[in-house]
């Protein structure tokens, strides 16, 4: 259909989308009777701590761990209080040392990088490609004799090409810690995300696919890594039932922290877990409906999908030919009633883009000295320099991006309205 300037809502034409926008809390908006029932069971039993209470009660956290392990097809899951905790625990479980280098994605929430620093390792930032996940060639270029871990991030629902990452890791004898915070329920070539690497780390924070407000999960197939993660997340496995048993593995007992999940979170997470697949299916259906209607629009390109079936489909990302038109394009979409936004704008801070990570650029630590940036044990930490232009391809993709959330609660009709808005605005502005 041909559109004229005057058809656009921004110029006084009729709006393409007339229903209110649904906020992006995919699991959060589904909280209902199931969550209430699980939480009430915990409260009625006065069993708020997984390891003890007034009388025996089956731990919700343990149930959650077992359900997740079965779902992912891995031997072990361990619930923690956030994905940041999961990443720090995972890095410690694989035996990260001060000065070891961890290759992280340039487009991720800052927590992925903060976890590396918290584990006293040196982050090395790799470019993303058109899929906005790790650029495998750039990762390979950044491997040095100090590299210990690759930390791929399945960003905004999109699976990283895990076959390539695992091959690289094998060839260079590296560990892999997957960040699945934003892509719970996704898969790559039929295998669940979080089941490829040595360790997988999930988030249950409120904005995520399913949620318990805060929370995280660690997955692993490896008995030793699981035992080490147990020890780290629970001050040397302090409360575990067999905590005084002789160690089964060398290197299983050491100082740890308290990253345990509470039974209240476990109860909510367990109910939400039961809804995960349907939430993902709804987002995938919605994204398919929109994309089907707007394919072939001249001048409009899309984020590359690495795996159509495995994409969690939390958002639609379109690339415009030039960054200069992003603002006008998103404003026109907003006027049509669609909540769209650009991703990278130099003047607008966003902690998902490496160029805005001031703490990394300036190596800002809570104390002036200390690993990894100013520490005799990690001389590479003081040598490495981070600059705003160190990943130019990432910035090029992101500054030409237009982003639209895909809530699972949207109806078919609302998806069609979004597609019509994109058609209208592209027809006039591209
Ligand atoms: C990619 C990514 N990694 C890690 C995290 C940290 O998760 P949490 O808030 O559960 O610590 C987030 C949270 O937004 C994230 O988006």
Q: Which atom of ligand 1 is nearest to the CA of 216?
A: 10
Decide: 397 and 319 in contact? Cβ < 8 Å: yes
Separation of CA 354 and ligand 1 centre (Å): 15
pLDDT computed for residue 74 by the predictor: 98
Query: In which band, very low, low, confident or very high, does the pLDDT at 356 lie, cut at 50, 70 and 90?
Result: very high
pLDDT at 227 over 80: yes
pLDDT score, position 236 = 85
DSSP output for 53-116? -SS----HHHHHHHHHHHHHT-SEEEEES-HHHHHHHHHHHTT--TT-EEEEESBS-THHHHHH
What pLDDT is attached to residue 430?
Answer: 94
When pLDDT is cut at 50, 70 and 90, the band that residue 194 belongs to is very high
Ligand 1, pocket-test mutation among 82, 203, 204, 269, most atoms within 8 A of CB: 203
Between strands 76-80 and 401-405, the pairing is unpaired
* Cα R_g (the chain), whole angstroms: 23
The arithmetic mean of pLDDT across residues 303-308, rounded, is: 98
Q: How would residue 243 be classed by pLDDT, with cut points 50, 70 and 90?
A: confident
How far is ligand 1, taken at its centre, from the CA of residue 7, in Å? Answer: 41
Half-sphere exposure of 245 (CA within 13 A, CB side): 12
Contact indicator for 195, 71 with CB cutoff of 8 Å: no
State the CATH class of domain 33-275: alpha beta
Among the atoms of ligand 1, which is closest to the Cα of residue 179? 3
Ligand 1 centre distance from Cα of residue 325 (Å): 30
Cα-to-centroid distance, 76 and ligand 1 (Å): 21
Q: How far is the CA of 177 from the centre of ligand 1 (A)?
A: 14
Distance CA 119, CA 175 (A): 15
pLDDT for 166: 98
Would you say 230 and 78 are in contact if contact means Cβ atoms under 8 Å apart? yes
Mutate to test the pocket of ligand 1, among 181, 209, 218, 314 (most ligand atoms within 8 A of CB): 181
Q: Tokens at residue 147, please?
A: 């590299």
User: pLDDT value at position 129?
Assistant: 98
- Which atom of ligand 1 lies closest to the CA of 204? 10
Counting Cα atoms < 13 Å in the Cβ hemisphere of 127 gives: 18
**Ligand 1 centre and the CA of 243: distance in Å?**
30
Q: Flag the least confident range among 178-182, 344-348, 362-366.
A: 344-348
Instruction: Say which residue, 39 or 252, is predicted with more confidence.
Output: 39
Q: Report the nearest atom of ligand 1 relative to the CA of 86.
A: 11
Look at residue 369 in the predicted model and tell me its pLDDT.
76
Q: Point out the ligand 1 atom lying closest to the alpha carbon of residue 85.
A: 11
Tell whether the model's pLDDT for residue 222 goes beyond 90.
yes
Q: What is the pTM of this model?
A: 0.97
Share of the chain above pLDDT 70, in %: 100
Residue nearest to atom 14 of ligand 1 (CA): 109
Give the side-chain half-sphere CA count within 13 A for 80.
32
CA 180 – CA 368 distance, rounded (Å): 32
242 Cα–ligand 1 center, Å: 31
172 confidence band (pLDDT: 50, 70, 90): very high
> What secondary structure does DSSP assign to 170-213, as a single string?
HHHT-EEEEE-TT-TT-EETTEETTSSSSEEEEE-BTTSSS-SB
Could you give the CA distance from residue 117 to residue 107 in angstroms, rounded to a whole number?
Answer: 17
**Banded model confidence at residue 250, pLDDT cuts 50, 70, 90:** confident
How far away, in angstroms, is 308 Cα from ligand 1 center? 23
Ligand 1: residues whose CB is within 6 Å?
82-84, 108-109, 111-112, 153, 179, 181-182, 203, 205, 216
Pair 312, 280: CB distance under 8 Å? yes
> Looking at ligand 1, which atom is closest to the CA of residue 214?
10
- Cα of 284 vs centre of ligand 1, distance in Å, is 22
> Which long-range contacts does 196-200 make (Cβ < 8 Å, 24+ apart)?
196/162, 196/165, 196/166, 197/152, 197/162, 197/165, 197/166, 197/169, 198/90, 198/94, 198/222, 198/225, 199/90, 199/93, 199/94, 199/175, 199/225, 199/229, 200/72, 200/74, 200/90
Which DSSP category does 367 fall into? S
| Tokens read off for 305 | 């999908």
User: In DSSP terms, which residues pair with 315 in a beta bridge?
Assistant: 405
Residue with tokens 């002036």: 368
Distance between CA atoms of residues 358 and 364, nearest Å? 8
Question: Does residue 13 have a pLDDT over 90?
Answer: yes
Instruction: For residue 423, report the distance from its CA to the centre of ligand 1, in Å.
Output: 33
Q: Is the pLDDT assigned to residue 368 strictly greater than 90? A: no
Report CA(181)–ligand 1 centroid distance (Å).
Answer: 5
Query: Phi/psi class of residue 363: alpha, beta or left (left: φ > 0; alpha: ψ in -120 to 50)?
Result: left
User: SS in 3 state form for 311-355?
Assistant: CCCCEEEEECCCHHHHHHHHHHHHHCCCCEEECCCCCCCCCCEHH
Token digits for 59? Answer: 């731990």
Terminal Cα distance for the chain, rounded:
14
pLDDT of residue 408: 98
State the chain's mean pLDDT as an integer: 96
Q: Above 80 in pLDDT, residue 131?
A: yes
Measured in Å, residue 115 CA sits from the centre of ligand 1 at 10
Residues 6+ apart with CB under 8 A from 42: 48, 57, 60, 263, 264, 266, 267
User: Given this model, what pLDDT does residue 247 score?
Assistant: 85
Residue boundaries of the structural domains of the chain: 33-275
Give, for ligand 1, the residue of 79, 102, 193, 205 to mutate: max count of ligand atoms closer than 8 Å to Cβ: 205
| Probe residue for ligand 1, chosen from 82, 84, 193, 197 as the CB with the greatest number of ligand atoms within 8 Å | 84
* 153 CA closest ligand 1 atom index: 1
Residue 203 CA: nearest ligand 1 atom is 10
Mean pLDDT of 323-341: 97
In this model, does residue 370 exceed pLDDT 90?
no
219 to each of 87, 133, 150, 193, how far by Cα in Å?
11, 21, 16, 10
């Amino acid at each position: 259909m041909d559109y004229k300037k005057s058809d656009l809502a921004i110029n006084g034409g009729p709006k393409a989308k007339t229903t209110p926008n649904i906020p992006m809390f995919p699991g959060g908006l589904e909280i209902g009777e199931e969550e209430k029932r699980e939480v009430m069971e915990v409260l009625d039993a006065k069993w708020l701590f997984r390891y003890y209470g007034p009388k025996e009660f089956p731990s919700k956290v343990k149930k959650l761990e077992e359900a997740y392990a079965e779902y992912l097809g891995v031997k072990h899951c361990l619930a923690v209080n956030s994905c940041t905790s999961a990443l720090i625990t995972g890095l410690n479980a694989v035996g990260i040392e001060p000065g070891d280098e961890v290759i992280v994605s340039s487009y991720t929430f800052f927590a992925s990088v903060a976890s590396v620093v918290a584990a006293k390792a040196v982050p090395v930032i790799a470019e993303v490609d058109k899929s906005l996940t790790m650029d495998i060639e750039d990762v390979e270029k950044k491997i040095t004799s100090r590299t210990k871990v690759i930390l791929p991030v399945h960003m905004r629902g999109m699976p990283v090409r895990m076959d390539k990452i695992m091959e690289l890791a094998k060839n260079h004898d590296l560990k892999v810690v997957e960040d699945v915070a934003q892509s719970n329920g996704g898969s790559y070539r039929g295998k669940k995300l979080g089941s490829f690497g040595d360790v997988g780390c999930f988030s249950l924070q409120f904005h995520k696919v399913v949620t318990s407000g805060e929370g995280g999960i660690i997955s692993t197939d490896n008995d030793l890594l699981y035992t080490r993660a147990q020890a780290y997340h629970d001050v040397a496995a302090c409360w575990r039932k067999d905590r005084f048993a002789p160690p089964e593995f060398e290197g299983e007992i050491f100082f740890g922290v308290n990253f345990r999940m509470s039974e209240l979170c476990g109860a909510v997470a367990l109910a939400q877990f039961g809804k995960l697949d349907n939430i993902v299916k709804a987002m995938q259906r919605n994204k398919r409906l929109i994309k089907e209607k707007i394919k072939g629009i001249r001048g409009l390109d899309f984020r590359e999908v690495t795996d159509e079936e495995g994409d969690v489909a939390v958002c639609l990302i379109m690339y415009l030919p030039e960054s200069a038109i992003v603002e006008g394009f998103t404003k026109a979409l907003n006027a049509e009633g669609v909540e769209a936004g650009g991703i990278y704008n130099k003047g607008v801070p966003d902690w998902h883009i490496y160029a805005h990570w001031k703490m990394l650029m300036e190596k800002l630590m809570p104390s002036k000295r200390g690993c990894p940036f100013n520490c005799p044990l990690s001389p590479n930490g003081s040598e490495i320099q981070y600059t705003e232009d160190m990943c130019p391809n990432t910035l090029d993709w992101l500054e030409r991006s237009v982003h639209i959330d895909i809530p699972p609660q949207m109806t078919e009709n609302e998806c069609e309205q979004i597609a019509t808005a994109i058609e209208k605005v592209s027809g006039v502005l591209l």
